[in-house]
Structure 1
Amino acid sequence: MKTNKKWEVWTFISMTILIVYLIFMIYPLSTLLRNSMILKDGGVGFANFQSFFAKSYNLQTIYHSFAVSFCATIITLIVGIPLGYFHSFYKIKGQKILQVFIILCGMSAPFIGAYSWILLMGRNGLVTQLFKNLFGIKLPTIYGFRGIMIVECMQLYPLVFLYFSAALKNIDNTLLEASENMGCSGWKRFLTLVIPLCAPSIIAATLMVFMRAFADFGTPLFIGEGYKTFPVEIYNSFMSETGSDKHYASAVAVIAIVITTIIFLIQRFINSRFSFSMNALHPIEKKPAKGIKGVLIHLYCYLVVIIAYAPQVYVMYTSFLKTKGKRFLKEFSVQSYIDAWKFLDNAIPNTFIIAGTSLILIIILSIMVAYLVVRRNNFANKLIDTLSMIPYVIPGSVVGISLVLAFSRKPIVLVGTFAIMIVALVIRRNSYTIRSSIAILQQIPMSIEEAAISLGSSKMKAFFAVTMPMMINGILSGALLSWISIITELSSGIILYNYRTTTLTIQIYTYVSRGSYGIAAAMATILSLMTSISLIGLMLYSKNKNVMF
């Protein structure tokens, strides 16, 4: 009877989560689909889809998005995996500081990265002018495909670093010692032992990077110029200043859903081939980085971080310069901060209220979903797992459009409220914490939980008292990623916000678009300060003060 009671508790939780997804995800997406089939004359048909595919320009935007996302993902893996490996296997000088800056590289909105790279390497950028004046060298343009890819890589490699480093913490050092005793060391051990053991986390990171690059519209909007991507087309079709066709925009959004869902299903199929349990009773022992090898390791780690973080530092520097129109003068001033502060009365409190509430809900939801998916693997819970990932692989602008269409009229009116912003963030950004929680729980043997139950603990108590503390590394690592993406969210927020619910990221985007670069730089610096404080706070809260958990 006792077992049945616990089964009913988890079944109730499972059904509750399904109902939440039904209301806040399935209903909006079904509304979007219904709108996509409505024609201008009120009829029903596929004319909106035909209109999209009839234009070669639209097909080109899809190709551009795939090209940028694929190249950015490959380069990000090449950069992030060695960085995570060196960080976990070797004692690097200034390791904790380096770790903080790696994460800070990914804690700004992508469009801010694009803006900062333009300041450095645009047509009149600092580096561009330096090379031109000193060496007479004309650097390649930062605009277009090359610029988008650079910004995405420098913005997203921390995701790979976080996932790979967290996975390495679950590798038992005795496996590495045994392989070394058998003559397998160096690159051979890395490729034949370490990489296969970390495969689930690498695959998860690959999907996260690819879909975030695919869904980003702020970066190509600022730095793409003639290289238009699919998310930009989605946004333009819904927010056109000349009057948008909501039914055509819905059709474009549905096409995006189909494309991203196919990519997600392919990833799930691959990931199903790499599911296993792993627990590190003897964590990896870091070795001193000495000799030429140590120099190269230090050089690689610091060079990556310097290149990635330098644009943000330059934005901070320009925030203290006087401005005249769109130009920065060679005089220091805090006027940009004075002007910026006038417009931040609501933005900063809103950012913390919306982001903080969203993160709390995401952590609770993620723990429940992880347990249901891993420990109670049935059809309903598999459905929850699939549903939890769908909003992430869908571009944020599509999520925003679907929520506007669904909740702009009775019975549920949320448009213009804080609630719709929170719903969008929870539904869209919970996948970071869910995937991280599932990945870590899959590596915790069920036998540990069964041992606690055999000693008299209930199943619920065994999970929360024994299993969940062992999951804390994955939960907090995923929560950090969720926080980063929430606080810098733009693509859904730009569609859902109004003057009462505006956030700091949206304000920055607004002033960059207007050409008020001084105010935008000051706001971006404030955002960087906020994210840095939240990161340090999370480090202090964690038991071992280690962000990688």
Structure 2
Amino acid sequence: MSRSSNLRSPWLWLSLASLVILATFIVYPLANILTASFAGEGQSGWMRLVSDPRGLTAIGNTLILASVVTVTCMLLGVPLAYVTARFRFPGKSIIALLPIITLVIPEVISAQTWLMVLGNNGVVTRFMRDFGIGLPSFYGWFGLIVVMTFIYYSYIYIGTVAAISGFDVHLEEAAQSLGTSPAKSRIKVMLPVILPSILASALLVFTMVVGNFAVSMILSNRLPLLSVATYQAAIAEGGASPVMQSTFASVSVLMVMTVLFFNRWIIARGRFEIAQGRGARPVPLAGIKGLAVGGAASLIVILSLLPLCVVVIGAFTVSRGPVMQWGNWTFANLERVFTTAPQPLINSLSYSALATIIGICFSAVVSYLIVKKRNAMTPWLDYISAVPLALSGTVLGIGLVVSFNGGWLPLTGTATIMVLALLVRRLPFGMRSSQATLHNIPNSIEEASISLGSPPVRTFLKVVLPMMAPAIASAAVLTWTTTVSELSASILVYSGGRETLTIQIFRLIGSNLMAYASAYGLVLIAVILLPIVIASKVFKVDVFSSK
């Protein structure tokens, strides 16, 4: 093909336009964060950080918290995955709720409802206090570890149960036929095969704890943590001289990128190919052993569902300021959401809908360019579109504020920056789903359409896009559920009157108005759950498909 025909290709110009967009809203904000950390009058942010004991303590505490939570998640997730994959027991079906629990319950609601149970004025705390038993404070290390463990252990469970289910049981049986005990054969044969999946899931949990904002802000109290220090620096500095907020954000990016590097290294070194194998048939567990295993597994899932149960009860509970009158019921809290102060709901629906529609459309086009229309720019499109995976919401929010606070593209204080924050944050969801589907669509189908006289763009719209529809629908639901529950990025870029449901809940928790927060939380969960139910039951979309 000649050079002139290449220049006339619509795909080349689409690649260029997409690259400019990604560079503007991902690379440019990230570069501004890194450069701002070295700027400022006097010492750079890095020099200030080295001489700031509280800042260094925040980094150390974050590493400790991430390590401890990762270990506790593994202690819960791996055994639960093993008994689920290998045994049948009473209550096993309830464990199937875990993936949907992970999506449906936002982190801000988890932190809020655990406080309603075990906080200073929590139900259990007050009940035990009546009997003269004082419970330890739920703020600080204890509350952070408990809440984050029950939020993130399901990620390790999901990754591990898939690895165990795909393991060829013939290998284990062969080891036992040579005289190896069942327990030793699992350690020597099965564990090395599934270990990369466990470690990859564990590293994912580690990065999520490092970037966690909602739980850290609500439960850390006076404990210094990196995400809290980053937010506090952003509030203190604003967009005028963003030195320390950029420095803390840069530290977060470096930490996450280091972990992601090790993640890729572990996956690359841990490749085991098993051809024509079969997984082990689950063994029935009856009697006391079955009840014990089923009871323990069900207890873990029930505790995971605790936030959902508490927020439903709290939404209909009478309150006078911060005092909740348990057992007295009212609709006044929900009336506030829909009539008195409905703007957060309207904002969440409109911003998330726009971010989802734009993100999914953009992801489909860019993924098509990367997979089917490769050129010199498509590798860069692939790399840059994955960058948000290494950015916490706080880092992204700071980058957008620093970059678009004024100058050539002033977006601060507008609805556009809210939508942009949600869009960029969840862009990899649509990219991953679209690319996986496009790899399974033969080029011959598209070539046949073009050979019959259909132009390339029309072929994409009429032939390729309909074949991508199931994956796009699944990605759209996942993008919606995560954008509507986003807090860490949106709280840094929002302005008065543009509060979303999560921001409103966060503010109400700060004012200790738990009943009102529960009402907004219940509506938020309904907004998240409804598309999942419709997609799964009505349109038969596999929301939890890995493709």
Q: How does 1:329-344 map to 2 (within 5 A)?
A: 329-330=325-326, 331-344=328-341
Alignment partners' CA distance in 1, 2:100 and 2:236? 35
Alignment partners' CA distance in 1, 2:335 and 2:444? 59
Instruction: Work out whether residues 166 and 548 of structure 1, in 8 Å CA contact, stay in contact via their aligned partners in 2.
Output: no
Following superposition, the deviation at residue 345 of structure 1 comes to: 2.4
Instruction: Work out whether residues 204 and 435 of structure 1, in 8 Å CA contact, stay in contact via their aligned partners in 2.
Output: no
Map Cα deviations across residues 328-379 of structure 1 (whole Å, 9 max, x no partner).
1242222222233345423223222322333344445556666777889998
Which has the larger displacement, 217-226 or 477-486? 477-486
The equivalent residue for 1:29 is 30
Q: How does 1:353-372 map to 2 (within 5 A)?
A: 353-364=350-361
Following superposition, the deviation at residue 385 of structure 1 comes to: 4.3
Map Cα deviations across residues 411-437 of structure 1 (whole Å, 9 max, x no partner).
323223333222222222233555577
Alignment partners' CA distance in 2, 1:77 and 1:454? 45
1:400 to 394, 397, 402: 397
Instruction: Work out whether residues 148 and 209 of structure 2, in 8 Å CA contact, stay in contact via their aligned partners in 1.
Output: yes
In structure 2, relative to structure 1, the CA distance for the partners of 1:342 and 1:424 (3 Å cut) is: same
DSSP-derived class of the 1:322 partner? strand
Map Cα deviations across residues 288-345 of structure 1 (whole Å, 9 max, x no partner).
6432554344223311111122233123212222212211124222222223334542
In structure 2, relative to structure 1, the CA distance for the partners of 1:218 and 1:335 (3 Å cut) is: same
1:273 to 259, 269, 276: 269
Q: How does 1:305-316 map to 2 (within 5 A)?
A: 305-316=301-312
In structure 2, relative to structure 1, the CA distance for the partners of 1:360 and 1:164 (3 Å cut) is: farther
The equivalent residue for 1:317 is 313
Instruction: Work out whether residues 107 and 151 of structure 2, in 8 Å CA contact, stay in contact via their aligned partners in 1.
Output: yes
Alignment partners' CA distance in 2, 1:368 and 1:399? 23
Residue type at the aligned position of 1:49: W
2:525 to 508, 523, 528: 528
In structure 2, relative to structure 1, the CA distance for the partners of 1:334 and 1:451 (3 Å cut) is: closer
Unaligned runs of 5+ in 2: none
- Sequence identity percentage: 24
TM-score by length of structure 2 reads 0.81
Say whether 1:128 aligns with 2:128.
Answer: no
The equivalent residue for 2:500 is 503
Instruction: Work out whether residues 237 and 244 of structure 1, in 8 Å CA contact, stay in contact via their aligned partners in 2.
Output: no
The equivalent residue for 1:262 is 258
Instruction: Work out whether residues 120 and 137 of structure 2, in 8 Å CA contact, stay in contact via their aligned partners in 1.
Output: yes
The equivalent residue for 2:40 is 39
Unaligned runs of 5+ in 1: none
Instruction: Work out whether residues 90 and 291 of structure 2, in 8 Å CA contact, stay in contact via their aligned partners in 1.
Output: no
Residue type at the aligned position of 2:174: M
Instruction: Work out whether residues 89 and 284 of structure 1, in 8 Å CA contact, stay in contact via their aligned partners in 2.
Output: no
Following superposition, the deviation at residue 52 of structure 1 comes to: 2.3
Q: How does 1:14-163 map to 2 (within 5 A)?
A: 14-40=15-41, 46-88=43-85, 98-100=95-97, 103-134=100-131, 136-163=132-159
Following superposition, the deviation at residue 23 of structure 1 comes to: 0.9
Instruction: Work out whether residues 344 and 504 of structure 1, in 8 Å CA contact, stay in contact via their aligned partners in 2.
Output: no
Following superposition, the deviation at residue 499 of structure 1 comes to: 3.6
Map Cα deviations across residues 197-248 of structure 1 (whole Å, 9 max, x no partner).
5566545533432222111222122211121201111111111399985333
Map Cα deviations across residues 52-71 of structure 1 (whole Å, 9 max, x no partner).
22111100001111111122
Instruction: Work out whether residues 168 and 198 of structure 1, in 8 Å CA contact, stay in contact via their aligned partners in 2.
Output: yes
DSSP-derived class of the 1:226 partner? coil
Alignment partners' CA distance in 1, 2:79 and 2:311? 28
Alignment partners' CA distance in 2, 1:502 and 1:181? 58
The equivalent residue for 2:171 is 179
Instruction: Work out whether residues 65 and 209 of structure 2, in 8 Å CA contact, stay in contact via their aligned partners in 1.
Output: yes
In structure 2, relative to structure 1, the CA distance for the partners of 1:19 and 1:259 (3 Å cut) is: same
In structure 2, relative to structure 1, the CA distance for the partners of 1:540 and 1:46 (3 Å cut) is: farther
Instruction: Work out whether residues 220 and 228 of structure 1, in 8 Å CA contact, stay in contact via their aligned partners in 2.
Output: no
Alignment partners' CA distance in 1, 2:63 and 2:518? 31
DSSP-derived class of the 1:411 partner? coil
Following superposition, the deviation at residue 284 of structure 1 comes to: 5.4
TM-score by length of structure 1 reads 0.80
DSSP-derived class of the 1:315 partner? helix
Say whether 1:219 aligns with 2:215.
Answer: yes
Residue type at the aligned position of 1:290: L
Alignment partners' CA distance in 1, 2:164 and 2:372? 23
DSSP-derived class of the 1:390 partner? helix
Alignment partners' CA distance in 2, 1:127 and 1:118? 10
The equivalent residue for 1:515 is 512
The equivalent residue for 1:247 is 243
Say whether 1:428 aligns with 2:428.
Answer: no
DSSP-derived class of the 1:267 partner? helix
Say whether 1:206 aligns with 2:198.
Answer: no
The equivalent residue for 2:406 is 409
Following superposition, the deviation at residue 404 of structure 1 comes to: 1.5
In structure 2, relative to structure 1, the CA distance for the partners of 1:86 and 1:334 (3 Å cut) is: same
DSSP-derived class of the 2:40 partner? coil
In structure 2, relative to structure 1, the CA distance for the partners of 1:19 and 1:179 (3 Å cut) is: same
DSSP-derived class of the 1:351 partner? helix
1:290 to 262, 285, 291: 285
RMSD value over aligned CA atoms? 4.4
